[in-house]
Each structure stands twice: as structure tokens, then as C-alpha cells.
Structure 1
Amino acid sequence: MGQKKKEKIKLDQMMKIMFKLSKKVTVNLLNALFDENYDYKKVKIEYGNGEFLLNNLKRIQADMFITVQSEKRSVNYHIEFQTQNDKAMAIRMFRYGFEKALELACNQEGEEIILDFPKQLVIYLEENQNIKDVIVLQIRKPDGDIERYEFPTMKYWEYTQEDLINKKMYALLPFQVFNMRKWIESISNSNRTHQEKAQLINIEFKKLIKVIESVGKSSTELYEKEEINARDFERILLVLKNMSDYIYNKYGEYRQVEKEVEAMLTSLYNPAIAKENRKIGEEIGKEIGKEIGKREKALEVAKEALKEGADVDFIAKITKLDKETVLKIKEELQN
């Protein structure tokens, strides 16, 4: 696997982590990206399958599918993450959308099948003036008419840290450090001497540390205002650290700078989390009590169902008890 492929996989993984934060943060992000107005308290979200097996047994993998279910409707969203411009992106977006629509159509009945394409978006991280506001795919039908498909894009580099906070796109904050990658890479690929490159890259690294510190402090403030929870906060700092490591490791061994960033993020994380840990401890105690009550109820249901002659596998499924537990209850009833 090539270096660029490995880098894309790592960045994709970090993006996926940020799209799986708390429901509140995720719904607010979808609202901003797709111009929606969901109330996170009144909807459910589910993450859909993104891997599709084609007729030639080749597998294709989309980045992210999310379904939002409200009282009135259920809407599917598809998001792709890109670092660089890709001429084949329009074809891939159509293909992913088609495969998802086909998957959903399997549950339909009747003679006429409706293919419901998801709402789609491509997020481009790296600045490129060739990227347009929409990606266009045109399909010429047998009668000569042309069907035009447009896939909107988000040009991430156009959003400042303040923009992301104002629009409640908190999950995208860690990628502010990525905005500097292009400039550092241009220095690294230039014809300058090694010494000149090292000096210039270190200057950029100092700027990068300020960005990291700023994003870290903003995340702390969001946590203290309860805009994000402890798990969100932890993951934001984790991705921020990984993004920093990615840039440092790619453009030189600057271990001292890396340690400085790690110490900074640790200092931000520890004081804030200490308070949350006390709250979590109290909540865990309550949850344990609830879970004990649920289990006792499940055991009671299983016992009564066995008395009525219900199947062990069926009982395990409806009670969420493991099969061994149900078999043990059955054995006790028979003795």
C-alpha cells in the first residue's frame, strides 16, 4: 500500500471518529452541513453500512452514512472526506448513492421500485482553487435528454475556528491544524537547502502550536459550557494530537515540539476531566442500579417464557440474555 493511500486511510479514520461523537454534537453538525433544523432531543441517529459488494465481487467502501429519524420522516445522509481534488469523485458519489439506494429498496414491495438517494456532501480538507461549490455528473439517456446530478462540497479551508464554533460544527475543530499542511509540504518539496527548510518548517511549527493551543482551549470552553460532553472532549483532543503527530512525523523529527504539544493537551484535558469523573462516578452508580433491575426483569420474563414452552433462542433474543443463561434457567426449572 502506497504512502498516500496510508495517509488517506488514517485521515478517514480520524474524520469518522469525529462523526461519531455524542448525538447532540453529531446532529448539530448535520444541521450545519446540510442546512437542516433538527432538535437532537427529538430525533434518533443511526450509522449505516458503507461497504458494498458489486456483481464482480469487488468491494467498494464509502466513508460515512448516517440516518436521522424524526416523527415525520427518515433521511439518509452520505459524506465523503477528501484531502485532494479527484476527477472521478462525481462518479464515485453517484455510485455510492446508487448502492445505498439499492440497498434500501430491497425492503420495498410492489411492482415499481423507488431508489431514494441520500443527501450527499464531499468535505475537502486541503485548499485547492479547482474545487467548485458542486461536483457535477451528467447522464445522457437513450432519448438524448441529459440528467444532471450535483453533489455539494464543503471547502474546509474557508472556515475559521470561529466559524466552526458559531455554526456548532465542533467535531471539525481538530482539522484546523490540517490547514497548515500544504504550506509545510511546499517548503519540504522546494529547492531550498536542508538547513533553510528546517528553519522555515520550524517557524511553521511554532504557528501550528498556537493553532493547537487555540483549538484545545476552545474545546475546553465548549466542555465547560456543556456544549460537548467528556467523551466528545476526550476524542477531540485525541484527534487533535493525532493530527499534530501526523504532520510532525511526516515533515521531520522534531521530538521536542511533539512533546510540547502532548504536554499542552494533557494540561487541558486533566483538570477539566477531573470534575467530570466525579459526575460520571455518580451516574455510573445510578446506571448500575438500573441495569440490575433490567436484568432481574429479563430473568423473570425468561423464566415465565420457558414455563410456556418458548424456544431458548427466541427467549435469548427478546430478553437480551445470553443463551447460556437461558439454558441454565431451563435446567433449574427442570430439577
Structure 2
Amino acid sequence: MADDIIEYFLKLKLTKIEELNLEFTTVEKRQSDMIFKCQTEKGNIAVHIEFQSTNDKKLAYRMLRYSIEIIEKYELFPYQIAIYIGKIEPKMQQKIKYEYEDTNKLEYNYKLIDLGELKFEEITNTGYYDLYSLLPLIDRKKRQEKGEEYIKDCAEAILKTPIDTDRKKDIAFYAEIFSGLMFGEQEVKKAFEEVVRMLDLQESSIYKSILEEGKKKGRKEGIKEGIKEGIKEGIKEGIKRGLKEGKADTAIRLLKKKFGKLTKEAEEKIIKADNEVLDKILDNIFTIEKIEDLDKY
């Protein structure tokens, strides 16, 4: 999804993308949502993507601090984007500016994108299919007017994409989670039951069992609450309420859903992992691109 976000929203043509691992220990006891080193036609830059679900009056200051740490550690100037996924319109400042004489100046701003302002057709006409997982969060006016019918529109759009079934399942998986931020549980369940039915019955039954078991153990609710509180940090806090065995089980099931299967070595590593490692795996479940990425944890 990161590639599509960068190319569509930032209008950058990527030749190579590499995820960077930067924990902002000096300014925030949290990890930023996504930081990437990107090779573009204009040279190397860092791209920092932050998801925001509430109107945080201090976001501009936090983004500035992140910017400084990225420059200090990687010697790359960051292109920063905050993606707002809240129900109401954003009211956050995007700029910090001051000037004392000619020697003390600062003018800083980041890019803020309100998904609610985007029209449904803007995404479905792009050809960036990974962005379809964000459909439940866009077009604030239409989703308020149509209610449950809007979720069905999102599900149908995913089904109609000209991509392979496994990729559709991944997109539907994230879309269902994001739908829970805007709509009631029963509305979401009803809309995505049709998606599940249409996509490989045997595989979809496993998918449903993962979500149901995760819900019983508090995992899915932890993810939902996590996204509401600020994506990854909230997910970490939500999942902390679960037991270590439940975390390992959920991580294994979600990774099997994403990659089809796991090696015995990978499963054993997850089972033996401590709470901190399991939290990191679950925090980054959206951005893990291949099984080998688990070696980072």
C-alpha cells in the first residue's frame, strides 16, 4: 500500500523503496507509522507517512520533531504527509512560522490529506488498487448519506478489481478493519460477508475464523481501538491487553492469511518470541511485505 500512497498522493515516481526503522525515543515514546527511503527521478528522499484519526492540535510540532530526527539519522530531507481518517473535518494547523530579525527564522509545514474530502470515484479510477482498502474512509458526504449502502459499494469495488484473488483478499481484509472506524459492527459484517462468499470459500472460512477468534480474545477490538487512537501506537496498547499465547496465535494466523503459509522455522520463532517482539510484529502486520521481514524482529 505504501507504494500506491506515495505515487498517488505525493505524485512521486519511485524507482526503489526501502522501509526505514526509526523509533523517536528522544521526543516521543512511539514509532512513526511509516518512514521510507525512496529513490525517485529527482534523487533520494525520505517519505514519512503519519495516520491521524483525531484533531491533534500539537501534530505540527510532533511532525517537525520527527523531521529533525529523520534528517539527523539518515541525512535525508523528508517529504511528510499526514493522512487524516477522522469522522469530522480536520482543524489542525499545518504550518509553524516565526522570525526574529534576519538571523532567527523558521518556516515549516507538512502535507495534510483529508481522506473524507476525496470522492469515491477518485480512488476507483486511479488503478492504484491497494488504495481500495481506504475506500471506507473516504468521501465523507457520500458515506454519511448512504450509510450501509456505502460499505456495500466499497466491497463491490474491491470484488470488481482486475487483480488476483489473494490480493483482493488482502485489500478486503484491511478495508473491513477500516470500515469499523466509520460504521457499526453488524453493518460491516453484513457487507463483507458477500466479499468473503465470493472469494474462495475454503480460504475465506479461514479468514473469518481468524477475525472471529481475534475478536473473542480482544485482538480485533485492540486493532480497531488502536487505529482510533493513532494507528500503530494504539494497536500496540490494545494488543497488550491480550495474553502472549493469543498474540502469537493471532500473528501466525494473520501471516498465514497474508502469505498462504509459513515455514516451520518462522512459526517457532513467533511462538518463542517475547511480548515486545510479538507487539512489533502485530504493529507492522500491514507493512510486512515478505516472510523474511520477520528477521528484523
- In the other structure, the counterpart of 2:96 is 137
| Structure number with higher helix proportion | 1
Is 1:270 aligned to 2:200, yes or no? yes
Which of 166, 183, 191 is the aligned partner of 1:261? 191
> What is the correspondence of 1:81-96 to structure 2 with a 5 Å cutoff?
81-96=51-66
Check conservation: 2:133, 2:174, Cα contact below 8 A: yes
Is 1:150 aligned to 2:109, yes or no? yes
Letter of the 2:79 counterpart: K
- In the other structure, the counterpart of 1:34 is 10
Check conservation: 2:172, 2:195, Cα contact below 8 A: yes
Is 1:48 aligned to 2:20, yes or no? yes
Is 1:239 aligned to 2:239, yes or no? no
Check conservation: 1:101, 1:117, Cα contact below 8 A: yes
Q: Distance in 2 between matches of 1:124 and 1:172?
A: 14
Q: Percent identity?
A: 22
How far did 1:69 drift? 2.3
- In the other structure, the counterpart of 1:164 is 123
CA RMSD after TM alignment? 3.6
> What is the correspondence of 1:1-335 to structure 2 with a 5 Å cutoff?
18-19=1-2, 26=3, 28-38=4-14, 43-54=15-26, 59-70=29-40, 73-105=43-75, 116-126=76-86, 128-129=88-89, 131=91, 135-140=94-99, 145-178=104-137, 207-222=146-161, 224=162, 226=163, 229-247=164-182, 255=186, 257-270=187-200
Listed as ranges, the gaps of 5+ residues in structure 2 are 205-258, 260-291, 293-297
Check conservation: 1:120, 1:151, Cα contact below 8 A: yes
Residues 128/148 of structure 1: CA separation in 2 closer, same or farther (3 Å cut): farther
Letter of the 1:163 counterpart: E
Residues 233/98 of structure 1: CA separation in 2 closer, same or farther (3 Å cut): same
Check conservation: 1:32, 1:168, Cα contact below 8 A: no
Residues 154/161 of structure 1: CA separation in 2 closer, same or farther (3 Å cut): same
- The structure whose Rg is larger is 1
Listed as ranges, the gaps of 5+ residues in structure 1 are 1-17, 20-25, 106-115, 185-203, 275-283, 285-319, 321-335
How many pairs were matched up?
205
